Amino acid sequence: MLARTASAIALSALMTAPAVAQEVWVSNERDNTISIIDVPTLEVIETIEVGARPRGLMFSHDYKVAYLCASDDSTIQVIDTATREILHNLPSGENPETFALHPDNRHIYISNEDDNITSVLDVVDRRIVAQIPVGVEPEGKAINHAGTIAITTSETTNMAHWIDTTTHEIFQNSLVGSRPRHAEFTTDDKRLVVSAEIGGGLHVFDTETFEELAEIRFEIPDVHPHDIQPVGFRLTDDMTRAYVALGPANRVAVVDMQTYEVLDYHLVGRRVWHMTMSDDETMLFTTNGVSGDVTVIDLTRQEPVKTIKVGRFPWGAAYRPADS
Amino acid sequence: MAEPVDVPIAYLELQVERPPVLTNLDPIPKDLGRMGAALGLADNATTGGFMGHEYSLAETVVPAGGDWLDAARAVLAESRILVVNAPAEAILALADLPEAQGALIFNASAEDEALREADCRANLLHTMPSYAMRADALMQFLVSRRWTDLVMITGQRDPDRAFAQALRDSATKFGARIRAEKEWDMSSDMRRNIGQEFPLFTQDFPSHHVMLAADETNDFAPYLEFHAWEPRPVAGSAGARPDAWSDRVEAYGAAQLQLRFKRLADRPMGAVDYAAWAAVRSVGEAVTRTGTADPADLRDYILGDEFELAAFKGAAITYRDWNGQMRQPIPIATRTALVAMAPMPGFLHQVSTLDTMGRDRPETECTAFD
């Protein structure tokens, strides 16, 4: 697959270098654009015009397309990864904010935040196949690796809803701290992690018993506790670390996922929101909403190495590996 | 699933005769407060559906001049959790009824300091901020901008005077100066001649950064800007106004709350709506976490360390255990945009920065919560 901008010289380099370098795509909520960052140079190489109020952003499992929640247009846009062209819009239900892609690469679970609904979209047939009533202001979405459980967090109901992906019914509700924002399963599917923005903690659940194993709390000298607001986070594949965006505390916390201790805090841009990680887990990219930039953290050295200016209110971020 | 629990909540309102104001462009909605409670109920009911908790809201509106205490007794016979939209005297009389002892009453309307201080009651919590909290929010903003030389124009009604006194106290507290004050005593229709009258009225004010207006019915304050002798911004009741809520708040997920409210009420959410919503949601949060609808247990939980409510103003909402006042950020907004969300950075407190606004524990005169 060739990048559209590849020059003749670059073409000759194809023999040795990857055809397509790694990229990070960033949705800019108040600019209606996506910024594309070239990872080798850490520069923005392209800005794509998209629909209104772009938020949730992810690639298909084969990286052929990107999916984008254009919230105020009430649609999910499908963008060709190679050509950057918007291929078509998918039905999403009203005001989609975030979503998760099933391992089958075909079903997307969507949070319709104004309607207290989780919609299930079939991207092949291009239609909504199920709508599941959930709590008030559904937000965080996660699907386990086995593809059997989908999670929706409801921000005002303060719950994680456990949805059976076969029956599309809620089979369990777990109360968490105030305003749950994001959820992820560990690689082995044995633990579910949920962040609570106003509650200020990260909740860890056993996926067999639904018992809460831990609530991880954060404490930063000279930062008031009510400014510590966990939003997006990422778990490493080996399940040893979690990186947690702490919102207006302007920090990313590094958490040991065996002991649940907080190991360190990295200073990033203002109102850090979501993040994505490189596939080799050596780099972390955070979206900083208020400062309008992306902080790059070198995870080998465990330090922030660069700030990249993007559009207004960067929200979501997704990583695309080389040669994908 | 948890044990089924029924949670009957009552919304009780005493209508008041509103004094005439210069313009009819901004009528006070007839369902102000009631719609906020209704939205809170809808939010609670969704959560309750997953918990086996059944919420209901009975609405009672007493017309001005009606028998308030009679209506209150009838409501108390049906529900022990009340959200009240009424003037301070009526709320106090309600809280003092023998039938109200052991009930849990939320004041969603009255801003009077005394209701939280010398006249505080153990069965009465306050989701509406006090005049002092609003004044402190504004003063923190002005001081943080170093706009510390102020003048003030005050209306002649009781709420105007109460807010003016709060602004004076707040200026002293945060090191600003109100260099001169005037009382608004003109009775002419200022829409026609303010251009002639107001420059003269303000000509002898000493130099200042900001003109404060204490005009809680919005009678004359909206006309001040652009007509004073000195071109200075207006703040207080008009201009940059501190309030429990503004329809200009959109961060912290507030856009969703604003949209939900607008869908329900077909108008923007006001401060009393917000206070009523917060009261109903406080009950919902306490019921969700404790699994009981017993007013004494809910009161203990709400005043305790574990309670927190996400309430779309950027910080978790809690209650002051010494007088039942809900701690909350206070937006300062014009009619078109949010100016700031107080407390302002740099105003520190050993317990909660939210306690930099309003009377703090060491100064309280309230003893009913001891």
Q: What is the pLDDT of residues A218-268, one digit of tens each?
A: 999 989 888 999 999 999 999 999 999 999 999 999 999 999 999 999 999
Residue B303 and residue B301: Cα distance in Å, rounded? 5
Q: Which residue of A has its CA nearest to B49?
A: A135
In this prediction the ipTM stands at 0.82
Q: State whether residue B338 sits within 8 Å of chain A by CB.
A: no
Residue B213 domain flag? yes
**pLDDT class of B197 with cuts at 50, 70, 90:** confident
Same domain assignment for residues B182 and B258: no
Query: Residues 116 to 135 of A: which have CB under 8 A from any B CB?
Result: 116, 135
Residue B345 domain flag? no
**pLDDT class of A11 with cuts at 50, 70, 90:** very low
Same domain assignment for residues B324 and B264: yes
Per-residue pLDDT tens over the stretch B276-330 = 999 999 999 999 999 999 999 999 999 999 999 999 999 999 999 999 999 999 9
Same domain assignment for residues B103 and B190: no
Q: Which of B218, B242, B266 is the last residue in one of the domains?
A: B242
Task: Give how far A157 is from chain B: nearest CA, Å.
Answer: 5
Percent of chain A clearing pLDDT 90 (strictly above): 90
* pLDDT for the residue B191: 58
Percent of chain A clearing pLDDT 70 (strictly above): 94
> Across the strands, what pairs with A172?
A162
DSSP-assigned letter for residue B1: -
Judge whether residue B176 has pLDDT over 70: yes
Torsion of CA A165, A171, A172, A173, to 10 degrees: 80
Provide the domain count of chain B: 2
Per-residue pLDDT tens over the stretch A189-205 = 999 999 999 999 999 99
Residue B18 domain flag? yes
**pLDDT class of B192 with cuts at 50, 70, 90:** low
Per-residue pLDDT tens over the stretch A121-170 = 999 999 999 999 999 999 999 999 999 999 999 999 999 999 999 999 99
* pLDDT for the residue A187: 98
Residues near B39 by beta carbon (within 8 Å), at least 6 away in sequence: B260, B261, B264, B265, B273, B277
Q: Do A178 and B316 touch (CB under 8 A)?
A: yes
Q: Which chain A residues are within 8 Å of B51, Cβ to Cβ?
A: 173
Same domain assignment for residues B44 and B100: yes
Same domain assignment for residues B119 and B250: yes
**pLDDT class of B22 with cuts at 50, 70, 90:** confident
Same domain assignment for residues B119 and B149: no
Mean pLDDT of A315-320: 98
Q: Which two tokens stand for residue A154?
A: 């409801």
Q: What is the mean pLDDT of chain B?
A: 94
Q: State whether residue B260 sits within 8 Å of chain A by CB.
A: yes
Q: Do A156 and B43 touch (CB under 8 A)?
A: yes
Residue B45 domain flag? yes
* pLDDT for the residue A1: 43
Residue B358 domain flag? no
* pLDDT for the residue A3: 46
Q: State whether residue B306 sits within 8 Å of chain A by CB.
A: no
Residue B33 domain flag? yes
* pLDDT for the residue A9: 46
Q: Which chain A residues are within 8 Å of B354, Cβ to Cβ?
A: 226
Same domain assignment for residues B9 and B120: yes
Q: Which chain B residues are within 8 Å of A175, Cβ to Cβ?
A: 288-289
Per-residue pLDDT tens over the stretch B75-119 = 999 999 999 999 999 999 999 999 999 999 999 999 999 999 999
Task: Check which CATH number belongs to the domain holding B168 and give it.
Answer: 3.40.50.2300
Torsion of CA B349, B352, B357, B361, to 10 degrees: -80
Residue B342 domain flag? no
Q: Do B253 and A224 touch (CB under 8 A)?
A: no
Q: What is the mean pLDDT of chain A?
A: 94
Question: Contact, B237 vs B214, CB < 8 A?
Answer: yes
Same domain assignment for residues B48 and B64: yes
Same domain assignment for residues B181 and B237: yes
Question: Contact, A197 vs A178, CB < 8 A?
Answer: yes
**pLDDT class of A16 with cuts at 50, 70, 90:** low
Question: Contact, B28 vs B18, CB < 8 A?
Answer: yes
Q: Do A226 and B253 touch (CB under 8 A)?
A: no
Containing structural domain, residue B37: 5-129+246-330
Q: Which of B210, B242, B274 is the last residue in one of the domains?
A: B242
Q: State whether residue A299 sits within 8 Å of chain B by CB.
A: no
Same domain assignment for residues B293 and B315: yes
Give the H or E element holding residue B152: strand B149-154
* pLDDT for the residue A14: 47
At residue B12, the 3 state secondary structure works out as strand
Q: Which of B211, B242, B273 is the last residue in one of the domains?
A: B242
Please write down the HEC assignment for all residues of chain A: CCCCCCCHHHHHHCCCCCCCCCEEEEEECCCCEEEEEECCCCEEEEEEECCCCEEEEEECCCCCEEEEEEHHHCEEEEEECCCCCEEEEEECCCCEEEEEECCCCCEEEEEECCCCEEEEEECCCCEEEEEEECCCCEEEEEECCCCCEEEEEECCCCEEEEEECCCCEEEEEEECCCCEEEEEECCCCCEEEEEECCCCEEEEEECCCCCEEEEEECCCCCCCHHHCCCCCEEECCCCCEEEEECECCCEEEEEECCCCCEEEEEECCCCEEEEEECCCCCEEEEEECCCCEEEEEECCCCEEEEEEECCCCEEEEEEECCCC
Same domain assignment for residues B146 and B295: no
Give the H or E element holding residue B330: strand B330-333
**pLDDT class of B27 with cuts at 50, 70, 90:** confident
Q: Which two tokens stand for residue A130?
A: 């199920």
Q: Which chain A residues are within 8 Å of B46, Cβ to Cβ?
A: 116, 135-136, 154, 156-157
Same domain assignment for residues B25 and B154: no
Per-residue pLDDT tens over the stretch B202-241 = 999 999 999 999 999 888 888 888 888 999 999 999 999 9
Count chain A–chain B contacts defined by CB atoms under 8 A.
Answer: 62
